[in-house]
């Protein structure tokens, strides 16, 4: 590395997604020159509160509202051209200037119409987001079906647009889906491809053919923040197959999918939230209400029951007061707004699971932690026991693993009225109640990683930055 060279930090979620990564990226963005994505695609969905109102990001990195910061979408990402064009339009309308700031690797794989159809037909049991991400990565790995190429990268569109669209058409004619084709669906296909061509016109000038884009910039002193999509518990290999996403979500993958040599790595930042959630199917040992909660959420998602329906029917005070785990989960979901950003699906709710965090901190070499949604822990004060339950161990028993729960003192809601929610400042450490501080110190010791920030509310100003205490 040269004397002038910069570095990269990688920020990833340590649970099942939706830990509030975008909010932390938005807060840290000023310390970096480039914010980059390395995995996933339009399956990531997050909302950040900006001075221009709430902005919804799916494929564009979360630094969009920091003028002067470059944004990079690496080759490890899948790109939905139509959604990217719409996102660029929407962000531009909200005041984010992206021309000359946003760069997309020409090696990123294109989400083809057939991928979305296949995902919606086959991904139901996993509870995928239906964005075609899995079939797209699968096509990349398959490379060919007979004499036809299965994957289309953005570079194929740059080289020969007509040929790339012919490849996508051939893929959409592939086995299994041919049987469902009729005149009506033929017209829909034509429309879909026409809208892709129109979107491509908007997107093409953001595509970079320079594989050394980040490398050259970092060698010249640039500081990069890689922003992970999904989270490490949803990793294709290290998560619980098949209830995972289809890309690698750990920090090491940033240097493959993000197009930068790993020699520039400085540190890995992990984001967790104090009340955990999972959307879609799959193991969730800390789930409040266990299988009942999973069944209820799956059923609610299929019936289109979301935030407004639950809010109308749930008496949260009564649910919390009854002391039943399932009821507590429903109340916490309503009170903390845990519904899918894109789909609106109710998320399954669980307790903070320290053995799980400890394992992923060790597995992925996490250097520091942010804990979001600590303010949400105050709701446990309204349960009959009035304490905050945290899982500290799993004991093997005949029926399987039994969580061992430690109890922490509840605290009063934090007074956030003094801070305007759009100020990108941070709150003072004195804002943290003593019992929350005791819990944070316990977490640090238990998971073996310093906590550097605590989320105490939804706004940009609701993050308390901490000086890490020595980890024992
Ligand atoms: P896919 O990524 O759409 O294939 O979905 C695979 C699994 O990952 C499903 O359980 C999804 O609910 C989950 N998933 C994908 N993206 C996100 C996300 O951004 N947040 C939380 N869960 C996600």
pLDDT of amino acid 341: 77
Q: What is the mean pLDDT of residues 442-446?
A: 97
Assess whether pLDDT exceeds 50 at residue 424: no
Task: Identify the band that residue 429 occupies on the pLDDT scale cut at 50, 70 and 90.
Answer: low
Average pLDDT score over the chain: 91
What are the pLDDT digits (tens) for 51-98?
777 888 999 999 999 999 999 999 999 999 999 999 999 999 999 999
452 versus 184: the higher-pLDDT residue is 452
Task: Identify the band that residue 425 occupies on the pLDDT scale cut at 50, 70 and 90.
Answer: very low
pLDDT of amino acid 466: 86
Cis omega (within 30 of 0) on the bond before 464?
Answer: no
Q: Is the CB of 349 under 6 A from ligand 1?
A: no
Task: Kindly write down the DSSP assignment for every residue of 269-290, as one continuous string.
Answer: EEEEESSEEE-SSS--TTBTTH
pLDDT of amino acid 417: 55
Whether residue 431 lies in the annotated active site: no
Of 9, 26, 33, 46, the active-site residue reads 46
425 versus 244: the higher-pLDDT residue is 244
For 116, phi then psi, to 5°, come to -70, -45
Structural class in CATH, domain 351-465: alpha beta
Question: How far is the centre of ligand 1, averaged over its atoms, from the C-alpha of 159 (Å)?
Answer: 32
Question: How far is the centre of ligand 1, averaged over its atoms, from the C-alpha of 362 (Å)?
Answer: 23
Collapsed DSSP state (helix, strand, coil) of residue 16 = coil
Task: Identify the band that residue 361 occupies on the pLDDT scale cut at 50, 70 and 90.
Answer: very high
Q: How far apart, in whole angstroms, are the C-alpha atoms of residue 188 and residue 166?
A: 16
* 251 phi-psi bin (left φ>0, alpha ψ -120 to 50, beta other): alpha
Nearest Cα residue to atom 9 of ligand 1 = 128
pLDDT of amino acid 469: 53
Say which CATH architecture domain 7-107+208-272 belongs to: 3-Layer(aba) Sandwich (3.40)
Contact by Cβ (8 Å): 162, 170: no
Assess whether pLDDT exceeds 80 at residue 105: yes
Among 157, 149, 150, CA closest to 199: 157
Mutate to test the pocket of ligand 1, among 109, 231, 234 (most ligand atoms within 8 A of CB): 234
pTM of the shown model:
0.93
In angstroms, the Cα distances linking 230 to 20, 38, 54, 126 are 11, 11, 20, 15
* 447 phi-psi bin (left φ>0, alpha ψ -120 to 50, beta other): alpha
pLDDT of amino acid 431: 67
Task: Identify the band that residue 422 occupies on the pLDDT scale cut at 50, 70 and 90.
Answer: very low
Nearest Cα residue to atom 17 of ligand 1 = 230
Task: Kindly write down the DSSP assignment for every residue of 388-430, as one continuous string.
Answer: EEEEEEEEEETTEEEEEEEEEE--PPP--TTS-TT----B-GG
pLDDT of amino acid 181: 63
Q: What does the buried/exposed string (b/e) look like for 432-464 if buried means 16 or more CB atoms within 10 Å of the residue's CB?
A: bbebbeebbeebbebbebbbbbbbbbbbbbbbb
pLDDT of amino acid 426: 47
pLDDT of amino acid 459: 76
Q: What is the mean pLDDT of residues 110-129?
A: 92
Q: How far apart, in whole angstroms, are the C-alpha atoms of residue 215 and residue 395?
A: 47
What are the pLDDT digits (tens) for 382-396?
999 999 999 999 999
| Residues across the chain | 472
Q: How far apart, in whole angstroms, are the C-alpha atoms of residue 372 and residue 300?
A: 26
What are the pLDDT digits (tens) for 168-216?
999 988 755 555 566 777 788 888 999 999 999 999 999 999 999 999 9
Q: How far apart, in whole angstroms, are the C-alpha atoms of residue 102 and residue 89?
A: 13
**Number of helical H runs and strand E runs in the chain:** 15, 21
Beta strands at 276-278 and 148-149: parallel, antiparallel or unpaired: unpaired
Nearest Cα residue to atom 1 of ligand 1 = 128
Whether residue 173 lies in the annotated active site: no
Domain boundaries, the chain: 7-107+208-272, 109-203, 287-350, 351-465
Task: Identify the band that residue 458 occupies on the pLDDT scale cut at 50, 70 and 90.
Answer: confident
Question: How far is the centre of ligand 1, averaged over its atoms, from the C-alpha of 133 (Å)?
Answer: 9
67 versus 458: the higher-pLDDT residue is 67
Task: Kindly write down the DSSP assignment for every residue of 322-335, as one continuous string.
Answer: H--HHHHHHHHHHH
Among 33, 137, 32, CA closest to 75: 137
Q: Cα(first)–Cα(last) distance of the chain, in Å?
A: 33
Q: How far apart, in whole angstroms, are the C-alpha atoms of residue 247 and residue 39?
A: 6
What is the largest distance, in Å, between two alpha-carbon atoms of the chain? 68
Assess whether pLDDT exceeds 70 at residue 104: yes
Q: What is the mean pLDDT of residues 444-460?
A: 92
Assess whether pLDDT exceeds 70 at residue 162: yes
Assess whether pLDDT exceeds 60 at residue 421: no
Percentage above 70 pLDDT, the chain? 93
Q: Do domains 7-107+208-272 and 351-465 have the same CATH topology?
A: no
Q: What is the mean pLDDT of residues 424-452?
A: 83
pLDDT of amino acid 52: 73
Question: How far is the centre of ligand 1, averaged over its atoms, from the C-alpha of 94 (Å)?
Answer: 27
Q: For 138, how many CA atoms within 13 A lie in the half-sphere containing its CB?
A: 13
What are the pLDDT digits (tens) for 240-287?
999 999 999 999 999 999 999 999 999 999 999 999 999 989 999 999
Task: Kindly write down the DSSP assignment for every residue of 47-58, as one continuous string.
Answer: EEEETTEEEEES
pLDDT of amino acid 416: 59
Nearest Cα residue to atom 22 of ligand 1 = 17
Please classify residue 67 by burial: count the beta carbons closer than 10 Å to its beta carbon, then call 0-12 exposed, 13-18 middle and 19+ buried: exposed
Assess whether pLDDT exceeds 70 at residue 472: no
Contact by Cβ (8 Å): 168, 193: yes
Nearest Cα residue to atom 12 of ligand 1 = 280
What are the pLDDT digits (tens) for 320-358?
999 999 999 999 999 999 998 777 889 999 999 999 999
- Within 10 angstroms of residue 84's Cβ, the number of other Cβ atoms is 25
Q: How far apart, in whole angstroms, are the C-alpha atoms of residue 24 and residue 372?
A: 9
Assess whether pLDDT exceeds 60 at residue 110: yes
């Amino acid at each position: 590395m040269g004397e002038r060279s910069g570095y990269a930090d990688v920020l990833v979620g340590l649970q099942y997604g939706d830990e509030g990564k975008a909010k932390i990226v938005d807060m840290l963005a000023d310390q970096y020159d480039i914010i980059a994505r390395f995995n996933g695609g339009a399956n990531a969905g997050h909302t950040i509160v900006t001075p221009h109102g709430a902005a919804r990001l799916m494929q564009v990195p979360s630094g969009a509202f920091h003028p002067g910061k470059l944004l990079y979408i690496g080759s490890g990402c899948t790109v939905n051209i139509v959604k990217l064009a719409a996102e660029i339009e929407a962000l531009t309308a909200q005041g984010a200037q992206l021309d000359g700031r946003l760069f997309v690797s020409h090696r990123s794989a294109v989400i083809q119409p057939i991928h979305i159809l296949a995902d919606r037909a086959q991904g139901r049991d996993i509870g995928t987001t239906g964005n075609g991400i899995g079939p797209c990565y699968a096509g990349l790995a398959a490379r060919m079906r007979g004499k036809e190429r299965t994957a289309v990268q953005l570079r194929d569109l740059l080289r020969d647009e007509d040929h790339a669209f012919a490849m996508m058409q051939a893929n959409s004619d592939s086995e299994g889906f041919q049987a469902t084709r009729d005149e009506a669906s033929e017209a829909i296909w034509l429309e879909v491809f026409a809208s892709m061509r129109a979107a491509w016109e908007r997107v093409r000038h953001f595509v970079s053919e320079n594989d050394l884009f980040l490398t050259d910039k970092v060698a010249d002193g640039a500081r990069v923040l890689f922003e992970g999509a999904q989270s490490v518990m949803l990793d294709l290999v290290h998560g619980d197959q098949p209830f995972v996403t289809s890309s690698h979500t750990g920090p090491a993958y940033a240097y493959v999918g993000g197009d930068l040599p790993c020699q520039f790595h400085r540190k890995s930042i992990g984001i967790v939230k104090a009340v955990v959630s999972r959307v879609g199917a799959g193991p969730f040992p800390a789930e409040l209400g266990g299988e009942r909660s999973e069944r209820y959420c799956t059923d609610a998602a299929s019936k289109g029951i979301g935030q407004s329906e639950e809010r109308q029917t749930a008496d949260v005070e009564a649910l919390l007061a009854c002391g039943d785990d399932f009821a507590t989960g429903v109340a916490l979901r309503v009170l903390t707004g845990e519904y899918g950003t894109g789909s609106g699906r109710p998320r399954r709710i669980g307790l903070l699971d320290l053995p799980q965090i400890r394992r992923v901190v060790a597995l992925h070499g996490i250097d520091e932690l942010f804990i979001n949604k600590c303010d949400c822990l105050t709701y446990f004060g309204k349960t009959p026991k009035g304490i905050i339950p945290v899982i500290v161990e799993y004991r093997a028993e005949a029926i399987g693993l039994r969580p061992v729960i430690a109890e922490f003192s509840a605290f009063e809601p934090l007074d956030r009225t003094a801070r305007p929610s759009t100020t990108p400042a941070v709150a003072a450490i004195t804002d943290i109640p003593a019992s929350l501080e005791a819990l944070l110190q316990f977490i640090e010791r238990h998971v073996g990683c310093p906590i550097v920030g605590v989320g105490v509310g939804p706004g940009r100003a609701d993050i308390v930055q901490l000086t890490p205490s020595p980890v024992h």
